[in-house]
Chains A and B, each alone.
Chain A
Amino acid sequence: MRLTKKSDQPAAATAGLGLSRRRFLKNSGIATGGVAAASMMAPGMMQQAQAKTVAHNVPTEVKRTICSHCSVGCGVYAEVQNGVWTGQEPAFDHPFNAGGHCAKGAALREHGHGDRRLKYPMKLENGKWQKVSWDQAISDIGDKMLQIRQESGPDSIYLLGSAKFSNEQAYLFRKFAALWGTNNVDHQARICHSTTVAGVANTWGYGAMTNSFNDIHFCKSILLIGSNPAEAHPVAMQHILRAKERNKAHMICVDPRFTRTAAKCNDYVRIRPGSDVAFIWGLLWHIFENGWEDKQFIRQRVYGMDEVRAEVANWTPEKVEDVTGASEQEIKHAARMLAENRPGTVIWCMGGTQHTTGNNNTRAYCILMLALGNMGISGGGTNIFRGHDNVQGATDLGVLSHTLPGYYGLSDGAWKHWAKVWNLDVDWIKGRFDPQVYQKLKPINNKGIPVSRWVDGVLEEKTRMDQKDNIRAMFYWGHAVNSQTRGVEMKKAMEKLDLMVIVDPYPTHAAVMHDRKDGVYLLPATTQFESYGSVTASNRSLQWRDQVIEPLFESKPDHEIMYLFSHKLGFGEQLFKNIKVNGSQPLIEDITREFNAGMWTIGYTGQSPERLKAHQQNWHTFNFDTLKGEGGPLDGEYYGMPWPCWGGAEMGHPGTPILYDTSKPVAEGGLPFRARFGVERDGISLLAEGSYTRGSEINDGYPEFNDKLLKQLGWWNDLSAEEKQAAEGKNWKTDLSGGIQRVAIKHGCAPFGNAKARAVVWTFPDKVPLHREPLYTPRRDLVAKYPTWDDSESMYRLPTLYKSIQDKDVSGEYPIILTSGRLVEYEGGGEESRSNPWLAELQQEMFVEVNPADANTLGFRDGEDVWVHGPEGGSIKVKALVTPRVDRGVAFIPFHFGGRFQGKDLRDKYPQGSDPYVTGEAANTAMTYGYDPVTNMQETKVTLCRIEKASA
């Protein structure tokens, strides 16, 4: 019998819902702290209501754009009616996501509402936010900058840029800093994957993800270490689970937490935070012991593996278990699975990079893949998932304190190269910088202060710094300060500054965490949906975004704001010499063309705006596994022309889908390892032995190409007359004609040479990666055996501490290891995503995960308020989440929250109507000192803490 009754009664007609949002919210116990709920009634909501009144039959324009949250690069169809973003459709035909989205991507259309956005320029006056005009703001800020420049030099202005820039904005920002005359410019890559870029580039040439999300389909084994894609890169899990189901890939998750990713893996191995090198050496111990290494690959393509072998021999299973906590059985099983299931990939993220030993970790992961022979093949590789949507592009385009765009560095040669591209006199550029010499280097050639250290740049004794004066003005141009450690000192630094300028779609935590009364400006920038341009996904593919909507409120796109400042500051002519400007809007395509003209090192030269737009319009023609165009206008090209895309656009290089893959000719995306570290060392060749790309006319290793090598090989006459002129005295990186690259590739050779990868990096503090105990460790017994480095007098212009911090034993008072990470609903510092009601509703409370045993011992229960005290004086009041997800003695906090500081709610300090729906303590208020010696990456993954129940 069916349950359903049949009825012929007509439904009763009553009027409307009879229910207002306001009344619901008043009654709702859901929004924690009623303020979040009340603030949903911001005036902006009215606009949303209007947006929804667009009638269904109004013509719809469909824009193609890319999600602006993480680096997977998911395609989006945005539907626009009457200029209003009314619909978001899944892009089933997009080769990266096939229509899929995580919580953030599926909530993207809220960007068209922007209820909690900063609506107009504001300045803090006597502790109150005042609305100002754009003209007034640019003029006031510009005057102050020029005054500081006069008194303290150009290095006292810090330009903190963003991984949320488009490629064009990123490039323009770096050029802006160069023409202002400072290397004090940086962005989130420093605190994201800088140790990856340094470690990986120094192993085999380029510091980027070697394969792609799609290529994971071909893996037979997948080692995830310090990576939680189920929360941080959910669409990557589409590819990973496809490999697991269809290719029987064996998945191993190595993490201190049993993550949502671990729940989908075949094996989970728990390690103590900060013991990655010991764990990898533990795997290699079994691999070498059983002869599972790829001997031919190592002989032909790897330098220095014997030195690694000697270090690995020390890491017997007992020692590894003592240091990492993982048993011999677990590690041997993992090693066997990796050995028996080749090709395999390693995936790592912030869990590996954000350590004082970050560069050692990333190199150890690379060495593991080299030993297994997993490099340069489909289904293998180091699949390093980058963070923000354009952190790869912003890194490539040099929004970094240690290099100009394209990793050219800061040498005189690098400046000469870029001055030529910019069509500027290099001496004029030099004249923009402070000419003094500090520690043997002029500021123009010396690495600037990294974003991780700006606080020290403000607070350090100026005589101990390698620049004229402290930082006196900070630009936070698309940056969440709560993603940085040492919150308490940061507050002090903010209060010491002369000027703070926050350029962002939202006010951010930086607007409220200090107690300043004036000298703070908020300038509303647009999101990427109110502009257009290119963006580089983690797999090195460049994608073109359409503009979806006009800028909301009074906000302006970043490149326009740069234009306005450059003119106020007196270098607008030079900045836009090659770039057409309409009104105050620089032409995006001209900026793309300018970086195309200079980015020879990493092959950002072939991706012209025209080609990028063609790829965008034809994204359905690329294969979902290989990313290769099949038929259509882009037959044989790879989607987004993953760099290096050699030569100029006219050469038609298809892009390089897998780095160092010798099975293809260079002209079709093949590559050997790069000859970056010389041709020999101690009498031993660093070049490849009998390994070369398919079709190469040189059947062995060879050095990088320059004019002399071409002449030596008898290939010089393959250059045209103009190319010869341009190539004379130049190499593959500095020949602006591209002739050297063209001819090398014509003969089947890689412009950057053909060398071995190196397992040892003799220019780094630890030649062979070593395990070193974290600065704050509960294992005092291991400190003597595995100590950190000595303090350094000067590193990135600043004294940097190691030993003096580690020597202080605080483990008695702070016994629990504290680590941090992500939640799927929020991105980065979270200001944007916590201002999106669809996301904010899902995560309303900042919390700390604590093991049930610890909670019982410490006397609190799930859901209770607790204080987490850090050993440097930062304390946060958060909810306890008692879970076996973390081990005894380990606590975890997510880092996306802000708007509260040491127990105090800062909501009333936001400009009215722009406070995010959800606020919470910033994790990093309690996180502590610690920087990688190569890149100054901050330590956010291991510190110590004390947790206690908060009294009511």
Chain B
Amino acid sequence: MANMKFLCDSKRCIECNGCVTACKNENEVEWGVNRRRVVTVNDGLPDETSISVACMHCSDAPCMAVCPTDCFYKTDDGIVLHNKDACIGCGYCLFACPFGAPQFPSKSSFGERGKMDKCTFCAGGPEEDHSPEEKAKYGANRIAEGKLPMCAEMCSTKALLAGDADKVSDIFRERVIYRGHADGAWASNGSAEELAYDAAQPKA
């Protein structure tokens, strides 16, 4: 069995938002819900860095730990999914999540939040694979077709990687061999004193 993971290589991510619209396209996610988003830090500064973020499908997922209705479950491939029929929209998972992944379709402060929605690693939900119900509630089920999540598959610069953790590591390791390694996938163009530096390039 695979152990599915995402990795975003920030040295490749150019904030083109291809992953975001690929997700919208494949899962028909409604306006206002962002299962995936690109976060840019130090925007417009020399160490500007972008990274694409969604549910990271944690091995020991805090959302699963805190959910009062226990709507989360984990597939044999290590993908964290949830049952919208059980979800009460309390938002506790959002408190627990280190990545801000859970999305709630209603945005009003004191109104109902609606059923939580999040990245499914393009693996659908508890309903029968490819059933209209699964499609309507969770979007695509590419995993059942032997395919990987659309966001990573369509990444313009191959920054966003998805798949079995071993395979992802292999791909990333190959890059590291070419360009050197300092702080893993998180690196900018600044000097060593800053957050990270590029070991492959001469220091400023």
4 closest cross-chain pairs (CB), A and B: A885-B44, A3-B65, A56-B130, A103-B17
Pick the contact of B32 from A28, A263, A266 — CB < 8 Å?
A: A28
Tell me whether B14 and A103 are in contact (CB under 8 A): no
Q: With a CB–CB cut-off of 8 A, which chain B residues contact A884?
A: 44-45
| B22 proximal to A (CB < 8 A) | yes
Tell me whether A107 and B14 are in contact (CB under 8 A): no
Taken together as a complex, chains A and B put the C-alpha atoms of A55 and B133 apart, in Å, by 11
- Least Cβ–Cβ distance between B163 and chain A, in angstroms: 13
| B107 proximal to A (CB < 8 A) | yes
Instruction: Give the residues from 36 to 63 in chain A that come closer than 8 angstroms, CB to CB, to chain B.
Output: 37, 40, 52-53, 55-57
Q: With a CB–CB cut-off of 8 A, which chain B residues contact A88?
A: 25-26
Interface 0/1 of B39-64, CB less than 8 Å to A: 00001111011100000000011101
Tell me whether A100 and B154 are in contact (CB under 8 A): yes
Q: With a CB–CB cut-off of 8 A, which chain B residues contact A106?
A: 18-19, 21-22, 25, 150, 154
Tell me whether B156 and A11 are in contact (CB under 8 A): no
Tell me whether B32 and A238 are in contact (CB under 8 A): no
| A21 proximal to B (CB < 8 A) | yes
Pick the contact of A842 from B20, B84, B178, B189 — CB < 8 Å?
A: B20
Tell me whether A90 and B153 are in contact (CB under 8 A): yes
Can you offer 27 A-B residue contacts whose CB atoms are under 8 A?
Answer: A2-B65, A4-B65, A11-B85, A19-B105, A19-B115, A24-B31, A24-B106, A27-B106, A28-B31, A40-B31, A56-B135, A90-B154, A103-B18, A103-B21, A106-B154, A107-B22, A107-B25, A110-B25, A234-B16, A237-B156, A241-B11, A258-B44, A258-B45, A263-B188, A264-B14, A837-B24, A842-B20
Q: With a CB–CB cut-off of 8 A, which chain A residues contact B71?
A: 11
Taken together as a complex, chains A and B put the C-alpha atoms of A266 and B200 apart, in Å, by 11
Known contacts A241-B157, A258-B44; A841/B16 CB under 8 A: no
- Least Cβ–Cβ distance between B34 and chain A, in angstroms: 8
Other A-B pairs beyond A234-B14, A235-B156, 12, CB < 8 Å: A3-B62, A4-B60, A4-B65, A5-B65, A11-B69, A24-B31, A31-B32, A246-B179, A265-B189, A266-B201, A824-B17, A837-B31
Interface 0/1 of A822-846, CB less than 8 Å to B: 0011000000000001110110000
- Least Cβ–Cβ distance between B188 and chain A, in angstroms: 8
Pick the contact of A101 from B12, B18, B85 — CB < 8 Å?
A: B18
Tell me whether B189 and A101 are in contact (CB under 8 A): no
Instruction: Give the residues from 257 to 278 in chain A that come closer than 8 angstroms, CB to CB, to chain B.
Output: 258, 260-261, 263-266, 268
| A17 proximal to B (CB < 8 A) | yes
Q: With a CB–CB cut-off of 8 A, which chain A residues contact B179?
A: 244-246
Tell me whether A99 and B154 are in contact (CB under 8 A): yes
Taken together as a complex, chains A and B put the C-alpha atoms of A56 and B24 apart, in Å, by 19
| A296 proximal to B (CB < 8 A) | no
| B7 proximal to A (CB < 8 A) | no
Q: With a CB–CB cut-off of 8 A, which chain A residues contact B26?
A: 88
Tell me whether B32 and A103 are in contact (CB under 8 A): no
| B83 proximal to A (CB < 8 A) | yes
- Least Cβ–Cβ distance between B189 and chain A, in angstroms: 7
Tell me whether A24 and B25 are in contact (CB under 8 A): no
Tell me whether B32 and A102 are in contact (CB under 8 A): no
| B100 proximal to A (CB < 8 A) | no
Known contacts A13-B85, A883-B43; A238/B157 CB under 8 A: yes
Taken together as a complex, chains A and B put the C-alpha atoms of A841 and B85 apart, in Å, by 28
- Least Cβ–Cβ distance between B103 and chain A, in angstroms: 11
Q: With a CB–CB cut-off of 8 A, which chain A residues contact B135?
A: 52, 56
Interface centre among B25, B178, B188 (most CB of A within 10 A): B25
Q: With a CB–CB cut-off of 8 A, which chain A residues contact B31?
A: 24-25, 28, 30-31, 37, 40, 837, 841
Tell me whether B178 and A102 are in contact (CB under 8 A): no
Q: With a CB–CB cut-off of 8 A, which chain A residues contact B123?
A: none
Q: With a CB–CB cut-off of 8 A, which chain B residues contact A19?
A: 105-106, 114-115
Pick the contact of B17 from A25, A241, A264, A842 — CB < 8 Å?
A: A842
Task: Please give me the residue from chain A that is nearest to B129 by CB atom.
Answer: A56
Q: With a CB–CB cut-off of 8 A, which chain B residues contact A14?
A: 85-86
| B173 proximal to A (CB < 8 A) | no
Interface centre among B44, B69, B188 (most CB of A within 10 A): B44
Instruction: Give the residues from 130 to 155 in chain B that come closer than 8 angstroms, CB to CB, to chain A.
Output: 130, 132, 135-137, 150, 153-155
- Which DSSP category, helix, strand, loop or mixed, fits chain B's interface? loop
Tell me whether B64 and A53 are in contact (CB under 8 A): no
Tell me whether A12 and B22 are in contact (CB under 8 A): no
Interface centre among B60, B83, B155 (most CB of A within 10 A): B155
Tell me whether A11 and B86 are in contact (CB under 8 A): yes
Task: Please give me the residue from chain A that is nearest to B49 by CB atom.
Answer: A263
Pick the contact of B18 from A56, A102, A246, A261 — CB < 8 Å?
A: A102
Binding site for B on A (CB under 8 A): 2-5, 7, 9, 11-15, 17-19, 21, 23-25, 27-31, 37, 40, 52-53, 55-57, 88, 90, 92, 97-110, 230-231, 234-235, 237-238, 241, 244-246, 248, 258, 260-261, 263-266, 268, 824-825, 837-839, 841-842, 883-885
| B78 proximal to A (CB < 8 A) | no
Tell me whether B18 and A24 are in contact (CB under 8 A): no
- Least Cβ–Cβ distance between B21 and chain A, in angstroms: 4
Task: Please give me the residue from chain A that is nearest to B84 by CB atom.
Answer: A17
How many residues does chain B have at the interface if contact means C-beta atoms less than 8 Å apart? 65
Known contacts A24-B30, A100-B158; A4/B86 CB under 8 A: no
| B70 proximal to A (CB < 8 A) | yes
Taken together as a complex, chains A and B put the C-alpha atoms of A79 and B22 apart, in Å, by 15
Taken together as a complex, chains A and B put the C-alpha atoms of A534 and B27 apart, in Å, by 31
Tell me whether A101 and B22 are in contact (CB under 8 A): yes
- Least Cβ–Cβ distance between A25 and chain B, in angstroms: 7
Pick the contact of B14 from A3, A230, A841 — CB < 8 Å?
A: A230
Taken together as a complex, chains A and B put the C-alpha atoms of A17 and B155 apart, in Å, by 30
Tell me whether B48 and A263 are in contact (CB under 8 A): yes
Tell me whether B16 and A231 are in contact (CB under 8 A): yes
Tell me whether A30 and B25 are in contact (CB under 8 A): no
Task: Please give me the residue from chain B that is nearest to A98 by CB atom.
Answer: B158
- Least Cβ–Cβ distance between B173 and chain A, in angstroms: 13
Taken together as a complex, chains A and B put the C-alpha atoms of A55 and B134 apart, in Å, by 12
Q: With a CB–CB cut-off of 8 A, which chain A residues contact B50?
A: 260, 263
Tell me whether B154 and A241 are in contact (CB under 8 A): no
Taken together as a complex, chains A and B put the C-alpha atoms of A238 and B28 apart, in Å, by 27
Known contacts A3-B60, A100-B156; A839/B21 CB under 8 A: yes
Known contacts A106-B21, A841-B32, A883-B44; A12/B189 CB under 8 A: no
Known contacts A24-B32, A37-B31, A52-B28; A268/B46 CB under 8 A: yes
Task: Please give me the residue from chain A that is nearest to B42 by CB atom.
Answer: A263
Instruction: Give the residues from 56 to 113 in chain B that come closer than 8 angstroms, CB to CB, to chain A.
Output: 60-62, 64-65, 69-71, 74, 83-86, 105-108, 111
Tell me whether B61 and A4 are in contact (CB under 8 A): yes
- Least Cβ–Cβ distance between A901 and chain B, in angstroms: 26
Taken together as a complex, chains A and B put the C-alpha atoms of A418 and B125 apart, in Å, by 62
Taken together as a complex, chains A and B put the C-alpha atoms of A9 and B72 apart, in Å, by 12
| B164 proximal to A (CB < 8 A) | no
Tell me whether B85 and A824 are in contact (CB under 8 A): no
- Least Cβ–Cβ distance between A792 and chain B, in angstroms: 40
Known contacts A29-B107, A883-B44; A260/B24 CB under 8 A: no
Interface centre among A3, A106, A108, A244 (most CB of B within 10 A): A106
Task: Please give me the residue from chain B that is nearest to A246 by CB atom.
Answer: B178
Taken together as a complex, chains A and B put the C-alpha atoms of A23 and B30 apart, in Å, by 12
Taken together as a complex, chains A and B put the C-alpha atoms of A842 and B32 apart, in Å, by 10
Q: With a CB–CB cut-off of 8 A, which chain A residues contact B69?
A: 11-12
Q: With a CB–CB cut-off of 8 A, which chain B residues contact A230?
A: 14-16
Tell me whether A109 and B25 are in contact (CB under 8 A): yes
Tell me whether B32 and A260 are in contact (CB under 8 A): no
Task: Please give me the residue from chain A that is nearest to B114 by CB atom.
Answer: A19
- Least Cβ–Cβ distance between B59 and chain A, in angstroms: 9
Q: With a CB–CB cut-off of 8 A, which chain B residues contact A103?
A: 16-18, 20-21
Pick the contact of A27 from B21, B45, B48, B107 — CB < 8 Å?
A: B107
Task: Please give me the residue from chain A that is nearest to B133 by CB atom.
Answer: A16
Taken together as a complex, chains A and B put the C-alpha atoms of A685 and B23 apart, in Å, by 60
Tell me whether B21 and A838 are in contact (CB under 8 A): yes
Taken together as a complex, chains A and B put the C-alpha atoms of A30 and B48 apart, in Å, by 26
Tell me whether B48 and A7 are in contact (CB under 8 A): no
